Structure 1
Amino acid sequence: MSSIDNSLEAAVIQPMRLEDHADFIDMMARTPGVVLRTADGFAATERYLERNPGMSFVARLDGEPGIVGCAMSGHDGRRGYLQHVMVDPQHRHLGLGKSLVEHCLAALLEAGIEKVHLDTLADNHQAHRFWEHLGWSNRNAEIVRFSRVLVADDNA
């Protein structure tokens, strides 16, 4: 069996640290369906991890550089949110994404959070299938997301 075939068994899932930022950015850049924004910069990631300690996770393969998966989560005190859930395309369909999500959901539930939301890009149909497979509901018929950028940066 190749290391790809064994990636779930060989994967080490650990809390995301600020030291993982460069690997996180590298993974975002190589993952289809993920958009790298200014808000994913070092300082913003530092603020997010400090506000939500122990709620974001990365997956590494034993003995290999970089990360092969990531899931970030946090909450506002009443609702949880998942962001940047991604698995390297070479390591998909092995349960790694599901395991990362389960780590996040367990951390949110421990914090008293009983409902979690996430966003995907409208044209990321592979992500839609993943979330539906895990039992999540697509609520786009009842919820419309509005955003407003507060700085002069269209990529914020």
Structure 2
Amino acid sequence: MEEADYEKVFELWKTIKGFGIRSMDDSREGVLRFIRRNPGISVVAEAKGRIVGAILCGHDGRRGCFYHVCVHEDFRQRGIGKSMAVFAMKALQEEHINKVCLIAFKKNEVGNSFWKSVGWTFREDLNYYDFVLNDENITTFQ
């Protein structure tokens, strides 16, 4: 993924049913800040000149994380998601990152089914917590 891909990626996000878009984190400025902090490990998939899949991928020096993993509905079941995930995981390995995680909404049946089918482990031994630092970073669902 390159900075110039932002507009097309954002348009893709808006087509994904149930997708949460944050007003600040997913703004052009927010995504470009993320890509610059994590160069070369986020990925897009293209078909016929359009972006049909994307993964924002980053790490903190210890653990990698996937954000906003998606494939356009018309292009699913073709190995695109798996190929993007493999690309991002190899990029993380090159940076000596040994583990990667992601969060999938419980309602996201397609995503949860996909991750289980490609060998990711569903964790039942932990609780996930977060704390909002900026109430202006509003999430809207598509």
Smaller-chain TM-score range? over 0.9
Per the alignment, residue 4 of structure 1 pairs with none
Quote the residue 1:142 is aligned against.
Answer: 125
Q: Does 1:80 align with 2:64?
A: yes
Q: TM-score scaled by structure 1? A: 0.84
Bigger fraction of residues in strand: 2
Deviations 1:64-99 (A, max 9, x none): 3x3101011111001010111110000000100000
Q: Residue 124 of structure 1 aligns with which residue?
A: 108
User: Matched residues in 2 for 1:121 and 1:29: separation?
Assistant: 17
1:93-116 deviation line (CA, Å, top 9, x unaligned): 010000000100000000001110
Corresponding residue number in structure 2 for 1:30: 15
**Could you say if the C-alpha distance between residues 134 and 33 of structure 1 is closer, same or farther in structure 2, counting changes exceeding 3 Å?**
farther
Contact 2:22 2:137 in 1 (8 A): no
Runs of 4+ displaced beyond 3 Å: none
Q: Deviations over 1:110-143 (max 9, x none)?
A: 000111010011111111100000100111x212
- C-alpha separation in 2, matches of 1:55 and 1:88: 20
Superposition RMSD in Å? 1.2
Alpha-carbon separation, structure 2, partners of 1:75 and 1:150: 20
How many residue pairs get matched? Answer: 138
State the TM-score, normalizing by the size of structure 2: 0.92
Native 8 Å contact 1:69 1:87 kept in 2: yes
- 1:89 aligns to 2:73 (yes or no): yes
Identity across the alignment (%): 33
Alignment check: 8 A CA contact 1:33 1:121 kept: no
Q: Look up the SS of the partner of 1:68 in the other structure.
A: strand
Amino acid at match of 1:150: L
Task: List per-residue Cα deviations over 1:22-77 (Å, max 9, x = no partner).
Answer: 11111111012321112111111111101100000111113x3x310101111100
Counterpart for residue 27 of structure 2: 41
CA–CA distance in structure 1, aligned partners of residues 55 and 134 of structure 2: 26
In structure 1, the partner of 2:99 is 115
Please tell me whether Structure 1 or Structure 2 has the larger radius of gyration of its CA atoms.
Answer: 1
- The Cα of 1:153 is off from its aligned counterpart by 2.0
For the 8 Å contact 1:70–1:87, the answer to whether it is kept is yes
Q: Tell me which residue corresponds to 1:58.
A: 44
